Structure 1
Amino acid sequence: MGFGSFIKNQFYSTDLISAQEPVGANQPPTRRQIYVNRLNKGVNLGGMFVLEKWIAPHMFPEGEDNGKTAEFDAIQAALKKFSGDANKVREMWETHWSTWISDDDWAWLASVGVTSVRLPIGYWNVDACSFIGSTDFDGLDQIYHNSWDFIQKYVLEKAIAHNIGVLIDVHAVPGGANSADHSGISTAQGALWESNKCQVKTLRVLQYLAEAVKAYENVVGIQVLNEAPFADDWETQRSFYLKALHVVREINTEIPVIISDGWDLPSWIDWVKKCDSDAGTPVGLILDEHVYRTFSDKDRNTAPRQLIDEIEKALPNSCAQDVDVQVGEFSCVMDGHSWELNNSGTSREDLVHEFGNRQCALFNQKAAAYYFWTYKFRYGSGGEWGFREMQEKGCLSTGFASNKFPSDRAPDDNYYAEQYHHAAQQAIGNHTNYWNSQDGNRDWQHWRFEDGFRVGWLDAQEFDKFNHSEIGRRAAWKAARTDQHAAEKGGSDLLWVFGQAFDQGVASFLEARNRAFN
């Protein structure tokens, strides 16, 4: 069996397949394209389909857990409680899935500007348990058989009813991507990277999802796995990601594929850029970075004031790097030892308020998407881990706010036409004057700037028409528009003029919109 899995794994191709362009030439974005490419600001639905005891303790036995804090542990305890009656366990789990997020929750999320949720799932939740054979979850199909149906009914369909996207995050893969209990088992050792069998099963899961999500325009991406470990030798991880990308792209060329940055974002940015270069066009990869300031020894030994002041270093400008980066997880949490070092004279409440808001402000500028960890806890509000409490205390208001765009202030088309005329005239004048002053004898192809500004403004305006969305995958979107411009108007060493103007057009529209509402 091991040798058979080895052979199967070798037959998966690592050839690059380009992604479909995020938008058609000379076309406004479709609703699906806006869902996928907007700045998705949201929250994780942790503890819903991948149990963690600290989030959903009611699904675990009371008393000492002896390190048994994962989904598999809860299932084994429930089977023991119900004397092996799998139907009773299934009913317990299905009740949990169907009640974890209510209609009121969805309405509240939409009201504060959440545009997407990140949904952690396990491989056992996919395709009526087709992939649990020879894993820890083997034999539990009677319990999980309906779980994909519950994902569709209670997440995908509920979300789209509120214009909210869903990122399908394969949080738990066979063998585990790391040794944490969110892999589904407390004894996980990150076996995925050394097991052909686990890799083949994961690739089959991704194949199923690539086809299944086509039916939902609000699925904004497929995340291959959660939190790959740091590796000095990336060969195994890179090979696996290439296979994962290939199996998805053979079926679905639209959906973004999200991979972990393995806690080394600069190196993975370089690798994604190489993939795009080797393919000749973007392959549709997004890097997933988790921004926490509470787990490392360095962070635990740093005072809150310094952690806050250093937060701007957490992300590079993804558009400038030509690679889109999402923040799959962040929180307002700092370690207890950090708080012991607080001698700033500022209260914890005020520091947390600043910490959360500065993170959101940074992500608005530099990330393709960002998701707070996490939305709900069975007991209590989660404190600085809890999205709702942090939002209601104003700690995330630079990212999430109720009634940010009051309908009685909505500008009409005449307003935007006038604002465009003035903004374009000023931007074109500034650009022309500057570059002519640098070399008055050179043809700077200023018409490219005019084109770029116009396209950037119009794209931003089209996104805004859908619940005031903004372009999020700016690297991919601008690359597509620049390629389309070059195909229509001809290539040049001055294509950067179009790209620079595109950015200014987007920014100018957002400034005009925000003036109207504020």
Structure 2
Amino acid sequence: YTYCQTLGSSEAYSRLSKHWDTWITEDDLHQIAAAGMNHVRIPIGYWSVIKDDNAPYVQGAYEFLGRALDWAAGAGLKVMIDLHGAPYSQNGFDNSGRRGGIGWGQGDSVTRTKNALNKIRDDMGNHSAVSTIELLNEPMGSSIGMDTVRQFYMDGWGNLRNTDLVVTFHDAFAGVNSWNGWGSGMWNLMLDTHHYEVFDSGVLQNDIGTHISSACAFGASMATNNKWTISGEWTGATTDCAQWLNGRGVGARYDGTYNYNGQSSSYIGSCDGKYSGTVAGLDATYRDNIGKFIEAQLDGYEKAAGWIFWTWKTEAAPEWDMQELLQNGVFPNPVTNRNHPGQCN
């Protein structure tokens, strides 16, 4: 929102179109398949699907989504199309398109979200690469109201029923077990839950053994749900050091620089090499710990219906960069390999 607002539509479109055209290539999809993955999750904002004349967003990404579907099919991959941002923001996070308040659920925001999903269904729902559409990324159920979220999910599921697609819905931060028993009579329904151990100062102080135990326990809880359940976002990171992870200009809890909405943090450790850098530049012990944490999560989440790592490629965030983690032997390659087997036994 503010990126396009600050640059103006012409300059924003120029920069973003270059990014869309160059950042993820057809070769990336083949690398993902070669490492043993079978799915990619592609996020897109509502403004790329249906034009919003009352917001500064620029369009253009939707056409590249279509190209990515063709590439995925050529690489033998399936795709989850993830509606990542909704009108007025469903969570107040920058990844919704606009950081700050949560306005989704008000006015015509839900209707416009459904319109975007219906257009994706009509344009791409029958593409051979598309296996599922995620109705909305990370709606903040406690702020929006869970009744509103559940009704939206039911309506969204119904609108997609003239396809054979699986309908994916996020747990709205209510936890996987809160959805047991919901959706009776609905089919082709999958629950997505996201697991990060970096957004809480207490959790950031955990040692690697505690992180591993937590990942295994989370995977076990996923497996008890009565629906197909995946962890559609997770990472190898055990710090929040990556540049702008918490938002532009916010800082990190880990090194005590966090400052947002009156909240601050105390120093836990250094962000050197993690704020910006490469996997090869991390010290050997930390690389090994990332590998252990990744493999614990793989083993845990595979007790349920699976996982999708966030993310494939970064500019300079080594803990989050699957491509670099694979190239440096930290992420198992192929993903069925284990350097640290049996951690969740």
- Whether the TM-score (by the shorter chain) exceeds 0.5 is yes
1:90 aligns with 2:13: yes
Query: What do residues 279-309 of structure 1 show as CA deviations (whole Å, max 9, x unaligned)?
Result: 2xx4222111111111123312322221212
1:350 counterpart SS class: helix
Partner of 2:64: 150
- Of residues 269, 274, 291, the one that matches 1:353 is 291
Displacement of 1:107 in angstroms is: 2.2
- Trace 1:212-231 onto structure 2 (pairs within 5 A): 212-231=123-142
Displacement of 1:263 in angstroms is: 2.2
Partner of 2:167: 257
Cα 1:389–1:329 shift into 2, 3 Å: same
CA distance in 2, matches of 1:107, 1:149: 20
2:237 counterpart SS class: strand
Displacement of 1:179 in angstroms is: 0.7
Please, which runs of 5 or more residues in structure 2 have no aligned partner? Answer: 240-253, 256-266, 271-283, 338-345
Q: Give the length in aligned residue pairs.
A: 298
1:329 is aligned with what amino acid?
A: E
- Trace 1:107-146 onto structure 2 (pairs within 5 A): 107-126=30-49, 130-134=50-54, 136-137=55-56, 143-144=58-59, 146=60
Query: What do residues 116-164 of structure 1 show as CA deviations (whole Å, max 9, x unaligned)?
Result: 11111001111xxx34144x24xx5xx41x43222111x1111111011
- Of residues 149, 152, 155, the one that matches 1:240 is 152
Displacement of 1:92 in angstroms is: 3.2
1:375 aligns with 2:312: yes
2:31 is aligned with what amino acid?
A: W
Displacement of 1:241 in angstroms is: 1.6
2:81 counterpart SS class: strand
CA distance in 2, matches of 1:114, 1:307: 24
1:75 aligns with 2:4: yes
1:221 counterpart SS class: strand
- Trace 1:66-465 onto structure 2 (pairs within 5 A): 72-79=1-8, 86=10, 89-126=12-49, 130-134=50-54, 136-137=55-56, 143-144=58-59, 146-153=60-67, 155-187=68-100, 189-193=101-105, 195-231=106-142, 234-249=146-161, 251-252=162-163, 254-270=164-180, 273-276=181-184, 279=185, 282-316=186-220, 320-335=224-239, 336=254, 340=269, 347-366=285-304, 368-378=305-315, 380=316, 382-397=317-332, 400=335
Cα 1:289–1:198 shift into 2, 3 Å: same
Please, which runs of 5 or more residues in structure 1 have no aligned partner? Answer: 1-71, 403-518
CA distance in 2, matches of 1:399, 1:240: 38
Cα 1:243–1:131 shift into 2, 3 Å: farther
CA distance in 2, matches of 1:319, 1:301: 27
1:274 counterpart SS class: coil
Partner of 1:448: none
Work out which structure has the larger RCO, using CA pairs closer than 8 Å and 6 or more positions apart in sequence. Answer: 1
Are the counterparts in 2 of residues 357 and 398 from structure 1 also a CA contact under 8 Å? no
Are the counterparts in 1 of residues 176 and 225 from structure 2 also a CA contact under 8 Å? no
Cα 1:263–1:214 shift into 2, 3 Å: closer
2:97 is aligned with what amino acid?
A: G
Query: What do residues 176-231 of structure 1 show as CA deviations (whole Å, max 9, x unaligned)?
Result: 110111111234x22113x1310110011111122222331211211111112242
2:187 is aligned with what amino acid?
A: V
Are the counterparts in 2 of residues 303 and 339 from structure 1 also a CA contact under 8 Å? no
Runs of 4+ deviating beyond 4 Å: 317-320, 337-341
Cα 1:266–1:98 shift into 2, 3 Å: closer
Cα 1:156–1:192 shift into 2, 3 Å: same
Are the counterparts in 2 of residues 357 and 399 from structure 1 also a CA contact under 8 Å? no
Are the counterparts in 2 of residues 123 and 173 from structure 1 also a CA contact under 8 Å? yes
1:315 is aligned with what amino acid?
A: G
Are the counterparts in 2 of residues 364 and 399 from structure 1 also a CA contact under 8 Å? no
CA distance in 2, matches of 1:74, 1:122: 14
